[in-house]
Chains A and B, each alone.
Chain A
């Protein structure tokens, strides 16, 4: 049978990008964990500091208040401001969304019910006049001060249930230590996103809260894919005795790096498009709320799956006696090793071969050079 075969990888010398493409990068994810962790801790500390000092920029859903929106192609913020102030708003916030939509916000909850209705009517009328349209073209929203709080409470409820379910699922499907690492990575994303929102003063709306929940799901999704590979690779690690757990995690990370980067790019591209095209160009505020939180969260999620979850897993696993013993054995035999291109390639080949041995029935016709067997382990 004629078949496609691939030359043994060791013979190839690739550039940086090609190495990434072929999963032959040699980034020491576990060894340099102090760097990754420091970066995260710095961002989180900064964010929490900002939170303590400045707090959040909460939307009207949390503070209570009213907002009006109208499409008005031929006017200016100044004209709109004058018009709504004339209609009875004191200190209104006027914002231009996209190319021709104006949003007016003000808190009129302190007024009496009848006064509120009157002011709302007057503002709608004033905005309609400025926009040269009728009152039905003005969108309004009024929020009591407790509304946003209720949504947040629900969100926190969902978050806790989600955490429990996820930790349970990963513990069963994978193992408890992976669940712990994934959990910490999720908390990391939560803290980073909250911090970034406080540092940059982005407005928090219920949509933001929702988007953050989704992000946690996505970040976890990303982590699960990496862990799936780690589990695959580490299944035979104790038996073969060639590599430590950390090295195996490193190898898995490098193997899935192309996939991790691709996945993150593929997820971030549409979100970026939501943010830039949907919200900025076309002025849909809801899209902006979602897009911004998703963007920040996805970046943090991509980072945490690669730089937080896996190194953490390695650290936790290396504490197990059997893996500590394994590490000592490997070190003893090979001396202190550094991960180089050729050793990574060698490892790839080994893993490939290990898999082959597990299921010969598939009928392999490749011409891989088997690595010379080391002496049997004691």
Chain B
């Protein structure tokens, strides 16, 4: 059933409302100082794609995304995005000037593990890798057991236990051999050669929700952490097992810290989801530990598949190139339509202005949500392509008008009838175009998401503008044209052969 074209009053209301909404929202976004969220190829920045080294489940990969997001956020860069792309993880951080430093930090494919400390290892000058042999066990008098540590609960101090000389000539375990379930020897971060003999990991970084470096009331630096819902009871179990003993926090083959569990308490009490690590921290070392704990343990090891950095200056010139090309293309199209359709060409110019205002407002507003992909070169291209689709809706309508006129109909009835048949065509054609954009968006990889998103967005806008703007404007012009001899009348626009009054 053909849609009703509507009364004069409703047409005017629709026209005025559309224009008001378009330019009103543009004015609002401009006055708020909002702009599109630029992608890394326009703003400069980097992106890197990681692949799991072993087959991983989707749940695992989703956890990787969460953890990497924490890492990137922990570095204090804004606008970072971590996405899954099939079984790969894409990290993109636009707008950073020192891309390389950030890349190195995020690129650490670290695993955070909690291991019980069995004893300290002495360090000789002639270290040799262990090979296939198993580690010797810690001698009883060197073992960091609760009995040997002999914690003084009033001061929180423990007895000093010397390193076990049995390990003097054994090199620390290499990161690639550092398996969760193995006994290992690992160095202490900045520990001047101090090394620990550690048992199999009892807990991974999954358990930690968030860690923060803060100063306590005495002004000393501590690391406060909270545990996840499932991590909390697991942590309690581990802490109880290692009560009054050392628990090493290991990140990627280096012991970050090996705190004593609840040294000021006589008996074990539940951590109830939060805890604090204190000691001789400096501000820097506290922050490093907090960051390490935030980094979390990746459930799988990642391998860098590809990376890309774009310098801000190159990004800027790409932006200029993209916008320049878009503007030039738009100008050419407008020039052509005005030459071809004369007065009707002005309708297209107006319509594109309304579309552009709405589009900019929407893109800017979306730039403030996490939903929309950032606006990158691919997105710019999507928009440029959509110029063709948007203008085509006018062309379909105007060509229909000419058909109606050719069939001898008055301008007044031509605009109504022409719109009805054109509307069907526009709907069918835009559906196909939107379908393509939607499928690309869903299945898409990398840049395509942006491309498809902005193409789809402008297709929807095209349908809306055709109905709420072009329809009332042309029909009103058409009605006016039939009762006046204005040069702006539709008949003049169509300059159809014999449009003189008879």
Q: Which residues of A contact B (CB under 8 A)?
A: 2-9, 12, 14, 21-23, 61, 69-71, 98, 101, 133, 135-144, 146-147, 150-151, 154-155, 157-158, 161-162, 165-166, 169-170, 173-174, 206-207, 210-211, 213-214, 216-218, 220-221, 224-225, 228-229, 232, 255-256, 258-259, 262-263, 265-274, 277-279, 281-284, 286-287, 290-291, 294, 348-349, 351-353, 355-356, 359, 362-368
Contact = CB atoms under 8 A, between A and B. Distances in A.
B269 interface: no
A266 B402 contact: no
Nearest to B307: A142
B322 A4 contact: no
A174 B432 CA distance: 12
A362 B308 CA distance: 62
A370 to B, nearest CB: 10
B236 interface: no
B321 A283 contact: yes
Contacts of A158: 439-440, 443-444
B276 interface: no
Given A154-B86, A287-B381, A141 B428 contact: no
B15 interface: no
Given A6-B497, A23-B399, A269-B336, A141 B435 contact: no
Nearest to B103: A140
A221 B129 CA distance: 66
B48 to A, nearest CB: 9
A146 B303 CA distance: 12
B309 interface: yes
Complex A-B, nearest 8 residue pairs according to Cβ-Cβ distance, in ascending order: A352-B407, A217-B436, A270-B329, A366-B408, A267-B388, A278-B325, A282-B321, A368-B408
Contacts of B49: 147
Interface stretch (B73-81, B93-101, B141-149, B241-249): B93-101
A187 B320 CA distance: 35
A208 B377 CA distance: 13
A277 B399 contact: no
Given A151-B445, A364-B413, A270 B388 contact: yes
B326 interface: yes
Interface in B475-489: 481-483
Contacts of B483: 2
Contact of B399 (A6, A220, A256): A256
B377 A287 contact: yes
Contacts of B502: 5, 367
B88 interface: yes
Nearest to B332: A269
A4 B385 CA distance: 37
Contacts of A255: 403
21 contacts: A4-B499, A6-B409, A71-B317, A137-B314, A139-B311, A141-B309, A154-B443, A158-B444, A162-B435, A166-B432, A169-B432, A218-B388, A221-B432, A224-B428, A224-B429, A228-B428, A259-B399, A270-B333, A277-B321, A294-B385, A368-B408
Nearest to A274: B325
B185 interface: no
Contact of B435 (A101, A166, A352): A166
Nearest to A2: B501
Contacts of B391: 266
Dominant secondary structure of chain A at its interface with chain B: helix
Contacts of B447: 206-207, 210, 286
Interface residues of B, number: 97
Nearest to A298: B388
Interface in B270-294: none
Contact of B309 (A139, A291, A294): A139
Contacts of B190: none
B337 to A, nearest CB: 7
A149 to B, nearest CB: 11
Contacts of B429: 221, 224-225, 228
Most buried by A among B305, B322, B413, B445: B445
A158 B438 CA distance: 10
Contacts of A2: 482-483, 501
A274 to B, nearest CB: 5
Contacts of A278: 321-322, 324-325
Interface string B411-433: 11100110001001100111111
Nearest to A60: B306
Contact of A362 (B337, B413, B437, B455): B413
A169 B407 contact: no
B59 interface: no
B325, B329, B392 — most chain A CB neighbours (10 Å) = B325
B318 interface: yes
B392 A266 contact: yes
A143 B88 CA distance: 14
A290 B378 contact: yes
B370 interface: no
Contacts of B411: 3-4
Contacts of B100: 135-136
Contacts of B396: 225, 259, 263
B498 interface: yes
Contacts of A143: 305-306
B384 interface: yes
Given A69-B311, A274-B384, A286-B318, 15 more contacts: A12-B498, A23-B403, A137-B311, A140-B308, A141-B309, A143-B305, A217-B432, A218-B388, A262-B392, A266-B336, A270-B325, A270-B333, A273-B326, A352-B409, A353-B407
A27 to B, nearest CB: 17
Interface string B460-502: 0000000000000000000001110000000100001111011
A214 B451 contact: yes
B451 to A, nearest CB: 6
B339 to A, nearest CB: 11
B416 to A, nearest CB: 7
B436 A214 contact: yes
A258 B398 CA distance: 11
Contacts of B212: none
A342 to B, nearest CB: 14
